[in-house]
Amino acid sequence: MTDALSHLRVLDLSRVLAGPWASQLLADMGADVIKIERPGSGDDTRGWGPPFLKDEAGNDTSEAAYYLAANRGKKSLTLNIAKLEAQAIIRQLVKGSDIFIENYKVGDMARYGLSYEALKQINPGLVYCSITGFGQTGPMADVAGYDFIVQGLGGLMSITGERDDLPGGGPQKVGIAAADIMTGLYSTIAILAAIEHRRITGEGQYIDMALLDVQVAAMANMNLNYLCSGKVPSRQGNAHANIVPYQVFDAADGEIIIAVGNDTQFARLCTVLGCPEYASDERYIKNANRVRYRDALLPLLQARLITRSVEDWVRLLEPEGVPCGPVNSIAQTFANPQVVHREMRIDLPHPLSGSVPSVANPIKFSGTPIQYRNAPPTLGQHSHEILQQYAGLSDGEIEALKTKQII
């Protein structure tokens, strides 16, 4: 069985999360991904711990959990790209590659002779994806971009967090690096579209991806709420700006999410809660009215929901088609029977620890299922193999590069 992308080779010069997330997706789907890292230190995230992967004796290894989250299925080649010899090796590897990913500051790749304009002379079919905080153009092009900053600049934090008039109110970032992850996803889509264009035309192209662009685009309905009304959206905590009831409520033993998406579901919710009259009240019968009168309705629903446990309400509401669920910890999530059934945790062999836990790719192909070929590589694990097989270097030439601290 052939993997979906087994015909593609990727040179990945990206670090941290957005670029590595994109290249991990490509690796999961079968692409041959060569991760080029700095000798001695490698990807910044290798040191972003604790926690670190434990060896079989329970001691910390050199592999941080953060690094392990985004580098499965790749081969690691160490190269000091500031050196001319390393730049020559990359240009040699470009000849046989399809995709080039980098997230250096604007202008750095040109300084190293590795810009798209330079590399397309070697390989006109190369798809070259640059990922930066703010893009290759504009007044902020030279500013270093970080997910946290972009969540603030791009408006996400202005709508995330409890209402300002309630205890704990104020802006909050999302609990994961959302701008980085979304940029990795958008970059993967863009790369595959460019590969398809190349299949038809034979031409590669340059892709300019910016975290801020992605964050602005991903604001989705909140963007249009503002653009259509002229009213700036505000933080609603766990409530929804356009749908009621659609938030977290207190149950007798914890929190429960009620996510009513239409008027029929609201009527069913009221029946289960023992208050069917709410569904015929003119203030609540339609969602638009419920949004207007949310401050009157929500305390009434809360008074009902506090009387039983989360488990009881889920057991009663789910069969009636009312969307609901608990607020799980990550430990509870991985213990959830549905998550277990979907095999979302996997374990891969690892040279330092015996095995390393990982999280499965959520894509379920029928014809080309995801194959997990290897764990995130140790630093430089495949340097000799890549230089010999892909760059055509002899053992002696590789040893000379080590002596000169090129690799």
Cα–Cα distance for residue pair 275/167, rounded to 1 Å: 29
- Other C-beta atoms closer than 10 Å to the C-beta of 230 total 7
> Is 253 assigned a catalytic role?
no
Contact yes or no for 322/268 (Cβ under 8 A): yes
The pTM (predicted TM-score) of the whole model is 0.93
Cα–Cα distance for residue pair 263/314, rounded to 1 Å: 19
Domains and CATH numbers, the chain: 9-217+344-403 (3.40.50.10540), 246-335 (3.30.1540.10)
Identify which of 331, 332, 169, 189 has the alpha carbon closest to the alpha carbon of residue 239: 169
Give backbone dihedrals phi and psi of 132, rounded to 5 degrees, phi first. Answer: -135, 175
Cα–Cα distance for residue pair 322/316, rounded to 1 Å: 9
Contact yes or no for 127/100 (Cβ under 8 A): yes
| CB neighbour burial string for 317-341, b if at least 16 within 10 angstroms, e if fewer | beeeebebebeeeeeeeeeeeeeee
310-350 per-position pLDDT tens digit = 999 999 999 999 999 999 999 999 999 999 999 999 999 99
Q: Of the residues 3, 12, 32, 180, which is catalytic? A: 180
Give the residue carrying structure tokens 């690094």: 67
Cross-sheet strand order for the sheet of 74-78: 74-78, 32-37, 9-13, 99-102, 127-132, 205-210
Contacts for 244 with CB less than 8 Å, ≥ 6 apart: 260, 287, 290, 291, 294, 297, 298
End-to-end Cα spacing for the chain? 35
The tens place of each residue's pLDDT in the chain, 407 residues long, gives 579 999 999 999 999 999 999 999 999 999 999 999 999 999 999 999 999 999 999 999 999 999 999 999 999 999 999 999 999 999 999 999 999 999 999 999 999 999 999 999 999 999 999 999 999 999 999 999 999 999 999 999 999 999 888 899 999 999 999 999 999 999 999 999 999 999 999 999 999 999 999 999 999 999 999 999 999 999 989 999 899 999 999 999 999 999 999 999 999 999 999 999 999 999 999 999 999 999 999 999 999 999 999 999 999 999 999 999 999 999 999 999 999 999 999 999 999 999 999 999 999 999 999 999 999 999 999 999 999 999 999 999 999 999 999 99
Structure tokens at 334: 């991985």
Contact yes or no for 96/390 (Cβ under 8 A): yes
Contacts for 108 with CB less than 8 Å, ≥ 6 apart: none
Identify which of 52, 64, 55, 47 has the alpha carbon closest to the alpha carbon of residue 352: 55
> What residues pair up with 386 in beta bridges, in sequence order?
none
Structure tokens at 157: 């934090």
Question: Using CB atoms within 10 A of its CB, is residue 11 exposed (0-12), middle (13-18) or buried (19+)?
Answer: buried
